[in-house]
């Protein structure tokens, strides 16, 4: 078995969204997914333009605005899984920045729009940085609290914002001032902003950042092991989302020509935005817009026909639809019906084409001299309360060797691994890595360890359950490859190497344990590590799979990678390892060649007890 086995398979079954560097523009337009989407989108302008009614135009402007807001929200709420219920902070910042710049300095709202977006991005990072450590509902509550604080401050500082009484936008008509007599012009801008949001959302979905966000949402530990800076990517998501939201906020404020804190920093609107995204389908490109298209006209029509007597009707409908969706279609409309519709669309002329597999960039050969130390752990101590889980452990890994770590259950092997990969900080002692630059480094975070070449698997498997096997491996491959095509190609090569190629399009959550263990190895290998930490990868494998795994680990080592393996499968670890370290009760009790270590009295004691040692007369 060779790691360089990269012959592109002739049957690339998976059709996937176009990515950068793909086919030409014209060729893309011939794809039914593209022309159907563009046709559907253009209806948002064609219908109101054809009808000519101001009310219809207003409804469509509202759809475009909320579609754009929900799409922008989805970048944070859907892709990154951070449910902001205070997103109107950014919308309001966009509105007020532009209105105040216009009011005080006579600056065009187009400039204010950019200023508002920049300010919102800045504020969002200030909100995100402390709040991203909060889990689930507490993040949502914190965003609500920020929104309330901003709203109350906007009311309080009425000298600046006009307070509760509100602020009227100076009425200068024309494109530079974003205020028009012809309502259709508003629609053009709203539609343009919607396209912008969709384009950004689509680009992120199909980029390294999009995959990283999905990984973080699904499982942050595995994402870190794949070298993703989890806070960094979330901050990018909130900043982009906030900037887009503020941009739309500027336009909407100009459209309404009146700003008051209650509408611009409205909690109800913030909830509606999130709601539209969920109804359409969280984490999908089309979902947020679809949700908006579905429920906004209902509400606007009710308001138009029934007037004030229907006060509350639209909110009641929104709330009820949301509850029904959570109970019946938790994936939203796109999550539930999307695959079916996509199949139908692919039957149209020009559809169903599969993308050719690109050839993976050659795996980098690991340089350096075989036998030189590449990892040094010195006097590691880790305490959990009164328990000393790691008690003064030192070990050195040499380039190109396979170091086996054995020890009875609860001996502290996995705790040592966690410290060697940055997941636990030792109470005392250091972990040093030899970088590609030939210098020694002491990284602090798991993603920094990964970037320096540590690849680890988890004893308790950590798949990204909702992603396919191939996408799981791609998350690893993105560590060394920026482009989606390269990452895919590398992932395919790794999938073949570990024997997961046939399962590449299967949802990872459905794999049996043996497959999941191999997926752990595959995702880690895809990061192209120089040091591989394997935590019980043989467990749960069949006899023949264990043999394959042993072969695989040898092949990895032969490509220049150094390996540390924790294993309970004695036969496998003894035949595999060049050297063995035995850990018991947090201490290293023996070290040496496999055949000598197993004869040591202390090792036999640790595994079988003193009584056994006495009985055997050893």
Partner 1 sequence: MDVLIQLVLNGILLGSMYAIISVGLTLIFGIVRVVNFAHGEFLMVGMYAAYLLAAKFGLHPYAAAVPIVILLFAIGAAVQRFLIQPLLGAEEHIQIFATVGLSTALVNLALLVFGADLYSIPPSAAQGSVMVGGFSLVKGQLVMFVCALALVAGLHLFMQSTALGRAIRATAQNRNAALLMGVKVDQIYVIAFGIGAGCVGLAAALVMPLYPVTPTIGTYFVLTAFVVVVLGGMRSMYGAFFGAMIIGLVDSLSGYYIAPDLKEVVYFALFLAILIFKPTGLFGLGRGTE
Quote the Cα angle for 250-209-94, to 5°. 10
- In the complex with partner 1, the residue whose CB is nearer, 134 or 539, is 134
Residue 398: Cβ within 10 Å count: 16
Q: How far is the CB of 352 from partner 1 (least distance, A)?
A: 32
Residue 95: Cβ within 10 Å count: 31
Pick the stretch among 23-31, 49-57, 140-148, 227-235 that binds partner 1 (CB under 8 A).
140-148
- In the complex with partner 1, the residue whose CB is nearer, 144 or 388, is 144
State which of residues 66, 79, 91, 146 lies at the interface with partner 1 (CB under 8 A).
Answer: 146
- In the complex with partner 1, the residue whose CB is nearer, 145 or 574, is 145
- In the complex with partner 1, the residue whose CB is nearer, 149 or 168, is 149
Q: Should residue 326 be labelled a site residue for partner 1 when binding is judged by CB under 8 A?
A: yes
Contact 213, 80 (CB under 8 A): yes
State which of residues 57, 64, 83, 538 lies at the interface with partner 1 (CB under 8 A).
Answer: 83
Phi and psi at residue 258, in whole multiples of 5°?
-145, 130
Distance CA 361, CA 348 (A): 34
Q: How far is the CB of 311 from partner 1 (least distance, A)?
A: 6
State which of residues 8, 21, 126, 136 lies at the interface with partner 1 (CB under 8 A).
Answer: 136
State which of residues 114, 144, 294, 539 lies at the interface with partner 1 (CB under 8 A).
Answer: 144
- In the complex with partner 1, the residue whose CB is nearer, 331 or 429, is 331
Q: Should residue 85 be labelled a site residue for partner 1 when binding is judged by CB under 8 A?
A: yes
State which of residues 114, 125, 294, 313 lies at the interface with partner 1 (CB under 8 A).
Answer: 313
Paired sense of beta strands 562-566 and 402-406, if any: parallel
Distance CA 590, CA 485 (A): 47
State which of residues 54, 311, 379, 571 lies at the interface with partner 1 (CB under 8 A).
Answer: 311
Q: Should residue 508 be labelled a site residue for partner 1 when binding is judged by CB under 8 A?
A: no
Q: Should residue 319 be labelled a site residue for partner 1 when binding is judged by CB under 8 A?
A: yes
Q: Under rule CB under 8 A, which residues in 155-174 are in contact with partner 1?
A: 155-156
Widest CA span of the chain, in angstroms? 101
Contact 461, 537 (CB under 8 A): no
Pick the stretch among 185-193, 309-317, 368-376, 551-559 that binds partner 1 (CB under 8 A).
309-317
Judged by DSSP in three states, 437 sits in coil
Q: Should residue 294 be labelled a site residue for partner 1 when binding is judged by CB under 8 A?
A: no
State which of residues 271, 411, 450, 452 lies at the interface with partner 1 (CB under 8 A).
Answer: 271
Q: In the numeric block, which tokens belong to residue 407?
A: 């020890």
- In the complex with partner 1, the residue whose CB is nearer, 28 or 133, is 133
Residue 339: Cβ within 10 Å count: 10
Q: Should residue 327 be labelled a site residue for partner 1 when binding is judged by CB under 8 A?
A: yes
Q: How far is the CB of 155 from partner 1 (least distance, A)?
A: 7
- In the complex with partner 1, the residue whose CB is nearer, 173 or 324, is 324
Q: Should residue 282 be labelled a site residue for partner 1 when binding is judged by CB under 8 A?
A: yes
Which residues touch 561 (CB under 8 Å, ≥6 apart)? Answer: 366, 400, 529, 530, 531, 532
- In the complex with partner 1, the residue whose CB is nearer, 330 or 339, is 330
- In the complex with partner 1, the residue whose CB is nearer, 313 or 345, is 313
Contact 14, 504 (CB under 8 A): yes
State which of residues 153, 344, 460, 593 lies at the interface with partner 1 (CB under 8 A).
Answer: 153
Q: Should residue 330 be labelled a site residue for partner 1 when binding is judged by CB under 8 A?
A: yes
Contact 514, 491 (CB under 8 A): no
Q: For residue 323, what are the CA distances in angstroms to 274, 316, 318, 320?
A: 13, 11, 9, 5
Distance CA 486, CA 497 (A): 17
Pick the stretch among 246-254, 268-276, 480-488, 580-588 that binds partner 1 (CB under 8 A).
268-276
Q: Should residue 320 be labelled a site residue for partner 1 when binding is judged by CB under 8 A?
A: yes
Q: In the numeric block, which tokens belong to residue 294?
A: 């579905």
Distance CA 598, CA 618 (A): 13
State which of residues 1, 18, 49, 134 lies at the interface with partner 1 (CB under 8 A).
Answer: 134
- In the complex with partner 1, the residue whose CB is nearer, 136 or 232, is 136
Q: Should residue 323 be labelled a site residue for partner 1 when binding is judged by CB under 8 A?
A: yes
280: left (phi over 0), alpha (psi -120 to 50) or beta: alpha
Phi and psi at residue 290, in whole multiples of 5°?
-60, -45
Q: Should residue 66 be labelled a site residue for partner 1 when binding is judged by CB under 8 A?
A: no
114-146 burial string, b = 16+ CB within 10 Å, else e?
bbbbbbbbebbeebbeebbeeeeeebbebbbeb
Rg of the chain, C-alpha, whole Å: 29
Q: Quick one: which of 527, 594, 541 has its CA closest to 212?
A: 527
- In the complex with partner 1, the residue whose CB is nearer, 266 or 342, is 266
Residue ranges that bind partner 1, judged by CB under 8 A: 77, 81, 83, 85, 130-131, 133-138, 140-142, 144-146, 148-149, 152-153, 155-156, 267-268, 271, 274-275, 278, 282, 310-316, 318-323, 325-327, 330
């Amino acid at each position: 078995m060779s790691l360089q086995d990269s012959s592109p398979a002739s049957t690339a079954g998976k059709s996937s969204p176009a990515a950068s560097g793909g086919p030409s523009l014209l060729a893309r337009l011939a794809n039914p997914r593209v022309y159907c989407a563009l046709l559907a989108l253009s209806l948002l302008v064609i219908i109101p333009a054809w009808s000519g009614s101001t009310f219809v135009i207003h409804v469509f402007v509202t759809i475009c605005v909320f579609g754009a807001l929900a799409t922008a929200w989805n970048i944070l709420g859907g892709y990154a899984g951070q449910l902001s219920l205070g997103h109107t902070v950014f919308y309001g910042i966009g509105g007020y920045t532009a209105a105040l710049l216009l009011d005080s300095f006579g600056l065009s709202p187009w400039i204010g729009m950019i200023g508002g977006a920049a300010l919102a991005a800045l504020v969002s990072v200030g909100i995100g940085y402390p709040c991203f450590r909060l889990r689930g509902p507490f993040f949502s509550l914190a965003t609500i609290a920020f929104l309330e604080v901003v709203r109350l401050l906007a009311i309080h500082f009425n000298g600046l914002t006009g307070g509760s009484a509100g602020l009227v936008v100076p009425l200068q008509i024309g494109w530079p001032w974003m205020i028009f007599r012809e309502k259709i012009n508003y629609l053009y801008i709203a539609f343009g902003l919607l396209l912008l949001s969709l384009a950004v959302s689509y680009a992120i979905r199909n980029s390294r950042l999009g995959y990283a966000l999905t990984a973080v949402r699904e499982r942050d530990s595995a994402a870190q092991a794949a070298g993703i800076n989890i806070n960094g990517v979330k901050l990018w998501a909130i900043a982009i989302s906030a900037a887009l939201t503020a941009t739309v906020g500027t336009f909407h404020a100009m459209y309404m020509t009146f700003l008051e804190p209650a509408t611009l920093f409205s909690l109800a609107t913030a909830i509606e935005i999130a709601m539209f995204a969920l109804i359409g389908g969280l984490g999908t490109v089309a979902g947020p817009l679809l949700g908006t298209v579905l429920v906004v006209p209902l509400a606007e029509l009710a308001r138009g026909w029934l007037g004030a007597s229907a006060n509350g009707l639209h909110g009641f409908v929104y709330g009820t639809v949301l509850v029904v969706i959570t109970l019946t279609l938790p994936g939203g409309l796109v999550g539930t019906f999307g695959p079916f519709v996509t199949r139908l669309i692919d039957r149209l002329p020009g559809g169903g084409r599969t993308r050719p597999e690109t050839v993976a960039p050659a795996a980098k050969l690991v340089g350096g001299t075989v036998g030189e130390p590449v990892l040094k752990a010195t006097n590691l101590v880790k305490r959990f309360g009164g328990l000393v889980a790691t008690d003064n452990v030192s070990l050195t890994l040499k380039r190109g060797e396979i170091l086996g770590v054995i020890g009875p259950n609860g001996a502290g092997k996995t705790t040592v691994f966690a410290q060697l990969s940055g997941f636990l900080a030792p109470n005392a002692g250091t972990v040093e890595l030899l970088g590609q630059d030939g210098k020694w480094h002491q990284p602090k975070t798991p993603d920094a360890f990964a970037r320096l070449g540590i690849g680890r698997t988890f004893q308790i498997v950590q798949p990204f359950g909702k992603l396919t096997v191939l996408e799981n491996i791609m998350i690893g491959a993105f560590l060394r490859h920026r482009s989606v095509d390269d990452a895919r190609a590398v992932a395919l090569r790794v999938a073949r190497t570990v024997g997961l190629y046939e399962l590449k399009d299967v949802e990872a959550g459905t794999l049996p344990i043996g497959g999941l263990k191999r997926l752990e190895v595959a995702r880690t290998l895809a990061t192209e590590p120089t040091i591989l930490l394997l935590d019980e990868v043989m467990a749960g494998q069949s006899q023949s799979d264990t043999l394959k795994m042993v072969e695989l680990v040898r092949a990895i080592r032969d490509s220049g990678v150094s390996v540390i393996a924790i294993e309970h499968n004695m036969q496998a670890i003894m035949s595999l390892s060049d050297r063995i370290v035995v850990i018991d009760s947090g201490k290293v009790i023996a070290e040496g060649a496999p055949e000598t270590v197993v004869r040591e009295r202390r090792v036999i004691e640790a595994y079988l007890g003193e009584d056994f040692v006495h009985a055997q007369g050893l």
